[in-house]
Each structure stands twice: as C-alpha cells, then as structure tokens.
Homo-oligomer: A and B are copies of this chain.
Amino acid sequence: MPRNQQIHLDNRPQGEAVASNFKLVTTDTPALVDGQVLVRNHYLSLDPYMRGRMNDAKSYAQPQPVGEVMQGGTVGEVVESRSPKFAVGDKVVGFGGWQEYSVVDASQPGSLKKVDTTHVPLSYYLGAVGMPGVTAWYGLVKIIAPKEGDTVVVSAATGAVGSAFAALAKARGCRVVGIAGGPEKCKYAVDELHFDACIDYKEHSDGKAMGKALKEACPKGIDGYFENVGGWIMDAVMLRMNAFGRIALCGMIAGYDGAPLPMAHPALILVSRLKIEGFIVSEHMEVWPEALTELGTLVATGKLRPRESVAEGIAAAPEAFLGLLKGKNFGKQIVKLV
C-alpha cells in the first residue's frame, strides 16, 4: 500500500482564497475491491472553475465538500487493477483529485479513459486535448460559430483555453485577437500561438485604454468573444462588438472572490443585437469526440503548441492554484507529481 499525500479543502474562503483554506494530509491507499483500479497520478490539473466550487453558494456544481480531497482532473498510470477494462501500465485520464494516488471504480461510465501518448504528451490531456480544449471548441464552434474573416477575441489568451481557441479559430479563417497580462505573454501569444494580435491588459489598464487598443487590433470590430475573465475587460469588449456579435461565457474569474461584478452596459445587448450564452462543457459530452479529434490533430501537426506552467509536487498545488487565480501562471497550470 503506497502512502498517499492529498490536499483537502480545510475551510471555505472568506472573500479571497488563501493558502490556509487548504491542508496537506497523508494517508494510506486502501486495498482494492473488484472493479476498482489504483491510478498513480502523474499530473494534476488546476483550473479556475475550482475556485467557484470552494464557495458554498448556489451554483451549477455541487460545492467542494470541506474536509475532503480537492476535486480535479488528473492523468496518470494504472499501477494495480481489479477491473478487466484496465491493465497495469495503461495511461489514463480521469477525475482523481489533488492527490498522488486515486482509487477509481472503473465500472462507472466515464470515470477513467485510456489515452494514447504516441503523438500527444500525457499532460496535454489535461489541457489542449482535454476539458479546456473542448471548452474552447464548444464556445467557438457552437456559440460564436464564426464565418471566415470574422474577428474573434479571447481573454486569458495564453491559458489552456485561450491557446486552443486561437488554433481552432485560425483553422476557420478568423482574425484572432488575444488579451493577456504582460508583454512576455503577449509576445508569446503572437509568436507561438498564432494570434494576429494580443493586447496587454496591464498596459491598457482601464476601459478607455482597452477600448482604444481593441479598436486598433480589431479594425473591423469584433464578431465573437470568448469570455474567461469578466468585469471591466468584458465591458470594454462589448463596446466594440459588431451587430449580431456572439459572446461565449465560460468563466468569470474576476468575480470568484465574491466581489460583485456588474456588467456596465447591458443595453448594448439590445443596441448591438448581441447573443450572450453561458455554458459548461461537461454538459455537452456529445461534442467531446469530435472536438478531441480536431484538437489532437492540431497538436500532432504542430499547429497547437500549448505552453504549460508546471508546479512540482502535491504540496505545491495550493500556491500554484492561488497564483492561477491572479494570472501568475503562463500557459496551462498543472502540478507534476511523478
């Protein structure tokens, strides 16, 4: 029985999330019963949506329970199996949580999926070829539904969702403009992620400056916007949207800490005849196969080369997560456990 280090939610945040909301716990892994497999987690995914679940608020998802392992996506290797579906050595993606080992009931549909690491590195199944990639795909293809030549904008441009969004939108003949924090991220977005332009929100740090930068970067206006952040950046983008523009809303990271986050100009929805739609990718499992196929191909052909921000060891997870909420990561934030 290997020893298993875990991160628990110890208590809920009062306002901003802090390190003391988490607790490192060491346990033994239990003996398996029939149908179960033991997975050694190689990488753990950190995602903004987790912050929402730390609150005990009405939301689309059950809150993360206090005193239990933080929930989250993982990739790893089967190290023991009492299921006919999985063999020791299989590489798998699942929802193992913030811990080194997970016991998984393999009879549960969707609990664990075998993946091929020939052309796609294992960790990418947490990012570009995983939930964030499919999130970008759904928002772009099903909500924004761009025509060739449309201008589309994405916030958090160098993150896992943003980088997949750019590759998918370029493949559809769009002009793709990113918004990211700092010159290094913006340079990376243009040089490596194929954005046509990227606006530094730290340089253009109020609505007026952002509006001017958007006008320059989007001379034909904005047809589609993929929102990861919310707040004043969304307000500035809405002012530059073309008639019949579409906004896919998949995150409002700016509001997770509980500060009220109003939308300044909702009348623009009417004036510009906008469509705004919120979505959660796990409710649209029907698109995953199609989306993952396209994303895997983009990675295998070098058209999508997402960057990763790698924290080392389970104990580093809370700090890395808090940094993610402040935009300190650069690319998909993961924790390397092996």
A interface residues, Cβ below 8 angstroms from B: 52, 58-60, 230, 234, 243, 249-252, 255, 260-267, 269-280, 283
Contact status B267-A273, CB under 8 Å: no
Question: Besides A263-B266, A270-B280, 5 other CB < 8 A contacts?
Answer: A252-B270, A260-B264, A262-B264, A273-B283, A276-B277
Contact status B269-A249, CB under 8 Å: yes
A-B contact pairs, 23 of them (CB 8 A): A58-B271, A234-B266, A249-B269, A252-B266, A255-B267, A260-B264, A261-B267, A262-B262, A262-B264, A262-B266, A263-B266, A269-B276, A269-B277, A270-B279, A270-B280, A271-B278, A273-B277, A273-B278, A273-B279, A273-B280, A273-B283, A274-B277, A274-B278
Complex formed: what's the CA distance from A275 to B279 in Å? 9
Complex formed: what's the CA distance from A120 to B272 in Å? 34
Residues of B with C-beta under 8 A to A280: 270, 273
Q: CB-nearest residue of chain B relative to A246? A: B277
Contact status B60-A243, CB under 8 Å: yes
Contact status A251-B270, CB under 8 Å: yes
Residues of B with C-beta under 8 A to A58: 271
Q: CB-nearest residue of chain B relative to A268? A: B278
Contact status B273-A275, CB under 8 Å: no
Counting every copy of the chain, the complex holds: 2
Q: CB-nearest residue of chain B relative to A266? A: B263
Which 4 A-B residue pairings sit nearest by Cβ, starting from the closest? A262-B262, A270-B278, A263-B263, A263-B266
Contact status B272-A275, CB under 8 Å: no
Complex formed: what's the CA distance from A266 to B266 in Å? 9
Q: How far is the CB of A52 from chain B (nearest CB, A)?
A: 8
Complex formed: what's the CA distance from A156 to B324 in Å? 44
Complex formed: what's the CA distance from A59 to B267 in Å? 10
Residues of B with C-beta under 8 A to A279: 270, 273
Complex formed: what's the CA distance from A252 to B263 in Å? 14
Q: How far is the CB of A63 from chain B (nearest CB, A)?
A: 12
**Known A60-B243, A243-B60, A262-B262: A230·B273 in contact at CB below 8 Å:** no
Residues of B with C-beta under 8 A to A276: 269, 274-277
Contact status A230-B266, CB under 8 Å: yes
Q: CB-nearest residue of chain B relative to A275? A: B277
Contact status A267-B283, CB under 8 Å: no
Complex formed: what's the CA distance from A138 to B177 in Å? 33
Contact status A250-B270, CB under 8 Å: yes
Contact status A60-B273, CB under 8 Å: yes
Residues of B with C-beta under 8 A to A265: 260, 262
Residues of B with C-beta under 8 A to A283: 273
Q: How far is the CB of A247 from chain B (nearest CB, A)?
A: 9
Complex formed: what's the CA distance from A280 to B274 in Å? 11
Complex formed: what's the CA distance from A171 to B261 in Å? 38
Residues of B with C-beta under 8 A to A230: 266-267
Residues of B with C-beta under 8 A to A261: 266-267
Residues of B with C-beta under 8 A to A260: 264-265
Residues of B with C-beta under 8 A to A271: 52, 58-60, 278
Residues of B with C-beta under 8 A to A251: 270
